[in-house]
Structure 1
Amino acid sequence: MQLLNDTVTVALADQGQGRTFLLLHGGAGPASVAGLATALSARARVLTPTHPGFNGQPRPQGCASAGDLAKAYLDLLERMDLKDVIIVGNSFGGWVAAEMALLAPRRLAGIVLLNAVGIDGVIVDPVGLAPAERAAKAFHDPQRYSLAPASPEAAAIMAANHAALHAYARQPFMHDPTLRARLAELRVAALVAWGASDGIVDVAYGRRLCDSMPGAAFAIVEEAGHFPHIEQLQQVLGLIDDFSRAQML
Structure 2
Amino acid sequence: MTSLADHPDLTLTVSEAGHGRPVLLLHGGGGPATVSALGHHLARRAHTLTPTHPGWDGADRPSWLTGIDDLAMAYLHLLHDRGLRDVLVVGSSLGGWIAAEMAVRDTAGLVSGLVLVDAVGIDVPGEPIQDFFTLDPPTLGAYTWHDPERFRVDPSTVTPQQQARQAANRETMRVLVGDPYMHDPKLRRRLARVRVPALLLWGASDRIVTPAYGAAYAAAFGDGRLVVVPEAGHLPHVENPTATLPHLDAWLDRRRESGA
TM-score band, normalised by shorter chain? over 0.9
Q: How far 1:215 moved relative to its partner?
A: 2.0
Where in structure 2 are the equivalents of 1:190-209 lying within 5 Å? 190-209=198-217
Residues 25-34 or 39-48, more deviating: 39-48
Unaligned runs of 5+ in 1: none
**Contact 1:89–1:96 at 8 Å: present in 2 too?**
yes
Q: How far 1:222 moved relative to its partner?
A: 0.5
Q: How far 1:146 moved relative to its partner?
A: 2.7
Amino acid across the alignment from 1:70: A
* Aligned residues with identical type, % of pairs: 43
Amino acid across the alignment from 1:137: Y
Residues 144-153 or 219-228, more deviating: 144-153
**Contact 1:40–1:237 at 8 Å: present in 2 too?**
no
**Contact 1:119–1:177 at 8 Å: present in 2 too?**
yes
- TM-score where L is the length of structure 1: 0.96
Paired position in structure 2 for 1:94: 96
Q: How far 1:96 moved relative to its partner?
A: 0.5
Name the SS for the 1:184 alignment partner.
helix
Paired position in structure 1 for 2:235: 227
**Contact 1:102–1:187 at 8 Å: present in 2 too?**
no
Q: How far 1:2 moved relative to its partner?
A: 1.0
**Match 1:62 to one of 49, 61, 64:** 64
Q: How far 1:216 moved relative to its partner?
A: 0.7
Q: How far 1:79 moved relative to its partner?
A: 1.1
Number of aligned residue pairs:
249
Paired position in structure 2 for 1:2: 3
Amino acid across the alignment from 2:115: V
**Contact 2:94–2:119 at 8 Å: present in 1 too?**
yes
1:1-42 per-position Cα deviation (integer Å, ceiling 9, x unaligned): 112331311111001111111000111111111111112112
Paired position in structure 2 for 1:123: 129
Amino acid across the alignment from 1:79: D
Residues 165-174 or 3-12, more deviating: 3-12
Paired position in structure 2 for 1:113: 116
**Contact 2:230–2:243 at 8 Å: present in 1 too?**
no
Where in structure 2 are the equivalents of 1:134-173 lying within 5 Å? 134-147=140-153, 148=155, 150-173=158-181
Name the SS for the 2:173 alignment partner.
helix
Give the Cα–Cα distance (whole angstroms) in 2 for the partners of residues 125 and 18 of structure 1: 38
Give the Cα–Cα distance (whole angstroms) in 2 for the partners of residues 72 and 202 of structure 1: 29
**Match 1:16 to one of 18, 42, 54:** 18
Q: How far 1:197 moved relative to its partner?
A: 0.4
Give the Cα–Cα distance (whole angstroms) in 2 for the partners of residues 49 and 215 of structure 1: 26
Amino acid across the alignment from 1:130: D
Give the Cα–Cα distance (whole angstroms) in 2 for the partners of residues 227 and 102 of structure 1: 24
1:69-104 per-position Cα deviation (integer Å, ceiling 9, x unaligned): 011001110111111110000111101001111111
Give the Cα–Cα distance (whole angstroms) in 2 for the partners of residues 245 and 64 of structure 1: 36
Q: How far 1:181 moved relative to its partner?
A: 0.8
Give the Cα–Cα distance (whole angstroms) in 2 for the partners of residues 103 and 181 of structure 1: 14
